[in-house]
A and B are shown apart, each in its own frame.
Chain A
Amino acid sequence: MNRAIFQYSLFSKFTSYIDWVVLLAIIVSPTLMMCLVVYNIENHEYKVTVAKTLFSNFSNSWLWMLIAYVFVSDALVARRPVGDAAPLCLLFTRPIPRINYVISKWLAGAIGIFAVMVPSAYLFQIACLPFDITTNFMDSYMFAELAANAVSYSALMVFLHCLPPGIGALTYATMIGITNTGNTLASFNDKGDNWFTHAMHDLFVFLSFWLGDFTYPTIDVYTMLTSVTFDWHPVVVYVSNIILYLVLGTLCMVHREFFYATD
C-alpha cells in the first residue's frame, strides 16, 4: 500500500469545507428520510416496521457506491466528473507499482465508507428514540455487515475507477441492466412462443444469475451467522468477488496507457 495515495484519498484531498458539508449531508440523509416518513405515521407497530425497512434499505443501498466514489475518485473535490488520465500520468512517473495504487484506493475507500456509514447508522438509531422506536438496529451483526459491505463496495468502485474514463460507468450500467432484466424475466413463466424468445429469456436469466452477485456485492452477516447450518456459499462469493475486482482493477491499470498529450 502507498501511504501518500491512501492519505490523499481518505482526507488530504478534501481541502474545502464544501467537501465536508457534502459528506455530512450523506451522513444525515438516511436519518432525515426516516424522520420525514415516520413522523406522519400514527400506528406504532407500523412505525417500527417502516423504520426497520428503511434501515435495511440504507444498509444495503446505493449510498455505498456514492460514498466509495467520493473517496476513490476526485470528482467531488474537483467539482466535476474528472478524467483521471492526466493526474495518473504524473502519478505513475513516481515510484508506485500499479497494484499499490489499487490497494491504496481500495483500503481508503473501505475505511471512508465505514467512517461515513457508522455515524450515519448511529444517528439513525438515535433519531428513532423520539418516535419511541427502541429496536437496536446497530447490533454486532450489523456492525460487521457494515464493515464487510464497505470492503466489497470499495473494491467494486476501485475496479470501475480503474477502467478508462466513461467505460467504468458504462460497464456498471450494463451489468445492472442485464441483472435487472434477467430478474424481471425470471419472474415470468411464459417464455414466448418461438425459439428466439426462449433463448433470450434463458440467456438473461442465466446472466442475471451469474452477474447478480457481481453487481451487488453485499453479504447478509446476520442471516449467515444465525442460520442453523453455516452456509459457505455467500462467503465464497463475497471473497471471490473482492479478489476478482482487485485483480481486474490491477490488470486494467497495468494495461492502460496514460497518454498525457497529443503532439
Chain B
Amino acid sequence: MEQFISVENLVKTYRLGKVKAVNGASFHVNQGEIFGLIGPNGAGKTTIMGCLLALVKATSGTVTIDGKSPLDLDVKRMTGFLPERPSYNRWMTIHQFLSYHHMLAEQPSTQREGDIKRVLSMVELDIDPKSRRVKELSRGMLQRVGLAQAFIGRPTLCFFDEPTSGMDPLGFILMRKLLKNCKDDGITVILNSHHLQEVEKVCDQVAFIRQGRIEYQDRVDRLSEEKSIILMRWNCNDDAIASNTTMIQAAAGRHSATIIEVNDNNARFTVADKNAAAELLCDVVASGIKVYEMIFEKRELVDLFLSSGSVEDTPSGASLVGIEQPVDTSHSPTIKSSGGSQEETHTESSGGASS
C-alpha cells in the first residue's frame, strides 16, 4: 500500500517551550488504512491530530498528507473531521447545519438534498432534520450529527476524535459499521479513542503515545506476535502464598519476564518468546511451585496500555511505573487488572511489600 500520511519528528511546545505536548513523534499511515492513536490523557493525541488538520502549528518536524502540506486546500477537500467536543452551530436545524457544511465542503448544490439524506441514513439518524435543532439533541445524537457532518463532503481521509463518546451500545455498533464501510471504500481513517477493544477490532495499525512520544507503533495483527502473554496457574495452600509470590517474582526477574498480575494461585507475564516461557516455567517448577497449567494468551492493546505504565495518569493516582522493567525482588508489586479498562485498574500491596 502507498504511504499516505507521513509524520517526521513532530514537536509541538507551548508556553515558550516549557510544555512539550508532542516530543518528536514519527509515524506513517498507508492509504485506506484505519490508524488508531491511543494513549493516556495528556499524551498528545489531540495535538497530533490538530497538527495533521493544520489547526495547530508544529514547532518543528514535518507533516505531509498525500505528499502535500496539511494546509493545502486539496488536502482539506478530501478531509472529514469529527471533533471530540461537538461545539456546532447549535441554533441551526440539522438540515441547515448539514447544508452549511455541504457548501463549505464545495459540494455541488444540485446534490445537496441527496447528500444530506445519504449521510443521515449512514449515521442512522431517523429524525426530521428540518424541524429538529442541533441544541435539542442528546449527546449521542449530536455525535451522530457530527459524523454526518464529517461524511458530507465525501472525504477520503477522516479524522475521528473519540467518535463513540456519549454513544449508546447501538452507537458503538454503528461506529464499527461505519469504520468497516470506510475500509471497504478505501477511506483512510485516523482514530483517536480510549476504547481499546474497539480500536483493536477496527484498526489496521496503532500507535501508542505517551508524553508526546510514540512508544509503540505496529499493525494490530502483529500485537500478539510481538510478545507473548502467559497465564500460569499453580496449587497453593494458605501458608505458602507469600513465599510463592516472592519466588514467582524472582523467577520472572531472572528471565526478564514482566509481571502483569500476580494472585495467590496464578500469574500473568509477558515473555519475549516461547523459549523464554519454557525457561520461566522450568525455573518456577524448580522453585517448588506446583504448576498445573500454563497457557498463552493473545496480547491485547489493553496489555500494551498497561505495560507501558500509562495508568500512572489515572485520577486515582495509582502508579504502575516500572512494571515493564525486570522485577525487583526486594519489592513485591501485586498489580491487578480486570475488565481490560484503564478505569478498573488498581494496585494493591501483598505480602507486606508495596509497589
Contacts and interface: CB of A to CB of B under 8 A. Distances in A.
Interface of A: 2-5, 7-8, 12-13, 15-16, 74, 77-79, 86-87, 89-97, 257-263
B84 A87 contact: no
Contacts of A7: 103
A259 B104 CA distance: 20
A38 B108 CA distance: 54
Contact of A263 (B42, B56, B77, B105): B42
B56 A257 contact: yes
Nearest to A76: B91
A263 B47 contact: yes
13 contacts: A5-B104, A15-B91, A15-B133, A16-B91, A77-B91, A86-B83, A91-B104, A93-B76, A93-B80, A95-B106, A257-B55, A258-B55, A263-B43
A89 B87 CA distance: 10
Nearest to B76: A95
Contact of A4 (B73, B100, B133): B100
B73 A97 contact: yes
Interface string B25-57: 000000000000000011111110010011111
B96 A15 contact: yes
Contact of B104 (A4, A74, A262, A263): A4
A254 to B, nearest CB: 10
Contact of B76 (A16, A86, A94, A260): A94
Contact of A93 (B53, B85, B92): B53
B85 A86 contact: yes
Interface residues of B, number: 42
A103 B344 CA distance: 52
B56 A90 contact: no
A33 B83 CA distance: 47
A145 to B, nearest CB: 34
Nearest to B55: A258
Contact of B88 (A12, A90, A92, A261): A90
Given A13-B91, A259-B47, A261-B46, 8 more contacts: A4-B100, A13-B92, A87-B87, A87-B89, A93-B81, A258-B50, A260-B85, A263-B42
Contacts of B77: 95
A89 B55 contact: yes
A260 B84 contact: yes
B76 A263 contact: no
